[in-house]
Amino acid sequence: MNEDGRNGAQGSSLVKKDMTLVIMAAGIGSRFGGGIKQLEPVGPNGEIIMDYSIHDAVEAGFNKVVFVIRKNLEEDFKRIIGSRIEKKVNVAYAYQELGDIPEAYKGRWKDRKKPWGTGQAVLSCKDIVKEPFLVINADDYYGKEAYRAIYGHLSCRNAETVGEPGIMDICMAGFVLKNTLSENGTVTRGVCCVNKESMLTDIEETYDITGKDGYASALRDGREIKISLDSSVSMNMWGLPPQFFGKLEQGFEEFLANLDGNELKKEYLLPQIIGDMLGKKEARVKVLPSHDRWFGVTYKEDKAAVVRAIRGLIEKGMYPGKLY
């Protein structure tokens, strides 16, 4: 199997490894107009974006799915997607809850409404996931290329260290910024610096990105900055070893210890966590490029475009008209 994963799960003489897909679906969806955007149907037979993500991941070789959800969404989740996915692949559930924090900090942020971000979402899987895993957002369509690449990379690594002891081996899908913009509002992306060896050297969570004429703009420290449309960006699609949970757990406690009691929105985010590990030389991150076009339902107005995009992919023969 090639290191870049182009052969995916097919054609390999290696023993197939267990590999898990972790889908972060506990977000409230504040920009979606109050609905649960992860459960919006976009396919011709009621399929949601997660159906296509799971289809692509299983096709690439992943053999287990963990849904990270809020406990109060469990019934809807199982009815809309979980029950049918369970017939195709092993499924487990993890629960991301606002109050699921170390005992010493409970009660400090009584007015907070949202959970603690993508780092906490992944941490909720620590007792379920014991094998290399891929993390994705529930409401993003990533395309087939990235799943094949990450599965191939994880399959060819021992997932603990590569090259130097104590340095964690991580990979990520690197998307082209211009392929990840929304026509209906700004987006947040992890803007990456990548060296000639396709290794990540820096990542900065960048907010309020919008496409302009020949460039993208964003706000940083209250000022507009320009970003190349060809920049490599993270879409929270990370290939991680199970040892990552130890780093997450330690870092979450440090994150909470540095927050005051009035902080109601700050989040523990994967790009920042991994960026800090890079800075401390605790990790090396291989960037696996994907040229597929992203689409998702960041805003309610995005849904019509997603429906059209899915229809187009079906017409091209990339998916059957009825997935399951």
Q: 245: which 2 tokens? A: 């949970």
pLDDT of residue 246: 95
Do the domain assignments include residue 277? yes
Please give the sequence-ordered ranges of beta strands (E in DSSP) within the chain, or none if there are none. 20-24, 64-69, 90-95, 133-137, 140-141, 168-176, 187-194, 200-211, 216-220, 223-227, 232-240, 283-290, 295-296
Statement: residue 11 has pLDDT above 80: no
Encode pLDDT of 136-171 as tens digits: 999 899 999 999 999 999 998 654 444 567 899 999
Encode pLDDT of 62-75 as tens digits: 999 999 999 988 88
Q: pTM value? A: 0.89
Q: How many domains does the chain have?
A: 1
Which CATH number belongs to the domain containing residue 271 in this structure?
3.90.550.10
Q: Which of 68-82, 105-119, 124-138, 211-225 has the highest mean pLDDT?
A: 124-138
Do the domain assignments include residue 9? no
Do the domain assignments include residue 229? yes
The mean pLDDT value for 246-255 works out to: 96
The mean pLDDT value for 242-248 works out to: 96
Encode pLDDT of 18-67 as tens digits: 899 999 998 754 444 455 666 788 999 999 999 999 999 999 999 999 99
Do the domain assignments include residue 203? yes
Do the domain assignments include residue 110? yes
Do the domain assignments include residue 269? yes
Provide the residue range defining the domain that includes 117: 20-315
Q: What is the largest CA-CA distance in the chain?
A: 56
20, 89, 134, 192, 316 from 84: Cα distances, Å? 18, 9, 21, 37, 25
Do the domain assignments include residue 105? yes
Do the domain assignments include residue 5? no
Statement: residue 208 has pLDDT above 90: yes
Q: Which long-range contacts (CB under 8 A, 24 or more apart) does 207-213 make?
A: 209/177, 209/181, 210/181, 210/185, 210/186, 211/178, 211/181
